[in-house]
Amino acid sequence: MNVLQQARYGIDSYMDWLKAEGLRVVGGLAIDCTQVETADWPRVGTRAAALHLDGRGDFCNMFLYELAPGQSTIPQRHLFEQVLYVVEGGGNTQIELPGGERWSFEWAPASLFAIPLNAKYRHFNGSGRERAVLVSTTNLPMMLNLFHNERFVFDNDFDFDDRIGKREYFAGEGVLNLVRQGNDTWETNFIPDLERIKLQDFSDRGAGGGCLIFLLADSSMHAHVSEMPAGTYKKAHRHGAGYHVMCVGGSGFSLMWYERDQDFVRIDWKNGVVFPPADQQFHQHFTTSAKPARYLATGFGSLRYPFTSARRAEILGEKVAFATSTRDGGDQIEYQDQDPRIHPMWLAELAKHGLKSEMDRFFPR
Ligand SMILES: [Fe+2]
């Protein structure tokens, strides 16, 4: 132990907690959630892993839960927020309200839901034959580093009854708020199928794309789903860290780079692959499937509770910064301004898949 450690400097309470839990940690630039090797996690009573992706930033992590056929988790409650996505399998989750009443809802692949802060909950795998895989994006790193007290976070009986939401929010219903492109929201706690939910126009990001942002359990966790039509790609953009991008339908690839980089980092994705672009790293998404590609992004800082002033400025600004050209002070690269290597690279990739580009309508020549 060096003098700085003896003085108790530089403590990471989240990492200390993780080590004490003995939970398996998987890292990397991108992770295929269908292939993660899990280990027993006694706290939860199932196999699990913590996913630490390179670009996750300081506030968020992911937990992956693997429920064996017929298995359920030990009931949990905790002072961190989380949004869960169903990678594989089917089952249900039971939420216990402060008065003891229980609400439950059934999920399947591509369902998304949030657990209200400090609500008691339990997941059940409804199949006697197949495993279920759930992946949650949480703000536990922030909460443990803030309170650095495990008991306060995991053994706290405060009821946030203002966070539970309406019962129909757990039945797939919600409230649609149409504000402007890139800011349209669906307030709910549970989305049965992200592949089927109707999206709103977000053509400002290019190529006839759609998007819908979720306000979940009145929390600070962000989630949105975007779609790119077959034969298209989006414009590049950048923002803060911690937005975990996960493919929910179709396939494709993404390029990531920093402003002065000579080359791109490429990530190929299909169902279940997750990666978070790092802080202010440009990223651009491309489809290579014959059907539209959809992806989910989860992170910290919701439209309602942005948490940081940078995120609040993005949301309340006159223009949506990550949908405004870098020429106008925004964080989006218009098609005509993009690196000239990108479009031919895209056409070559499409040719490999025997697909036709639909970009002529959008790409100025
Ligand atoms: Fe992004």
pLDDT of residue 193: 97
Residue 176 has pLDDT above 90, yes or no: yes
Residue 365 has pLDDT above 70, yes or no: no
State the distance from the centre of ligand 1 to the C-alpha of 281, rounded, in angstroms.
9
State the distance from the centre of ligand 1 to the C-alpha of 151, rounded, in angstroms.
35
State the distance from the centre of ligand 1 to the C-alpha of 167, rounded, in angstroms.
32
User: Is the four-CA dihedral 324, 325, 331, 332 of positive or negative sign?
Assistant: positive
Q: Average pLDDT, stretch 194-223?
A: 90
Residue 231 has pLDDT above 80, yes or no: yes
Residue 322 has pLDDT above 80, yes or no: no
3-class DSSP state of 152? helix
State the distance from the centre of ligand 1 to the C-alpha of 109, rounded, in angstroms.
23
Q: How far apart are CA 92 and CA 119, in angstroms?
A: 16
Can you spell out the DSSP letters for 174-228? -EEE--STT--EEEESEES-TTTSPPEE-GGGSTT-EEEEEEETT-SEEEEEEEE
State the distance from the centre of ligand 1 to the C-alpha of 85, rounded, in angstroms.
18
State the distance from the centre of ligand 1 to the C-alpha of 330, rounded, in angstroms.
13
Question: Cα separations (Å) of 124 from 37, 66, 318?
Answer: 20, 11, 45
Q: What is the mean pLDDT of the chain?
A: 94
State the distance from the centre of ligand 1 to the C-alpha of 237, rounded, in angstroms.
6
Residue 323 has pLDDT above 80, yes or no: no
State the distance from the centre of ligand 1 to the C-alpha of 43, rounded, in angstroms.
33
State the distance from the centre of ligand 1 to the C-alpha of 239, rounded, in angstroms.
6
**Model confidence over 300-311: pLDDT tens digits?**
999 999 998 888
State the distance from the centre of ligand 1 to the C-alpha of 245, rounded, in angstroms.
8
pLDDT of residue 84: 98
pTM: 0.95
Question: Cα separations (Å) of 198 from 191, 201, 210?
Answer: 11, 10, 9
Strand positions, DSSP E, 218-343: 221-228, 236-237, 244-249, 252-257, 265-269, 273-275, 282-287, 293-300, 332-333
State the distance from the centre of ligand 1 to the C-alpha of 314, rounded, in angstroms.
13
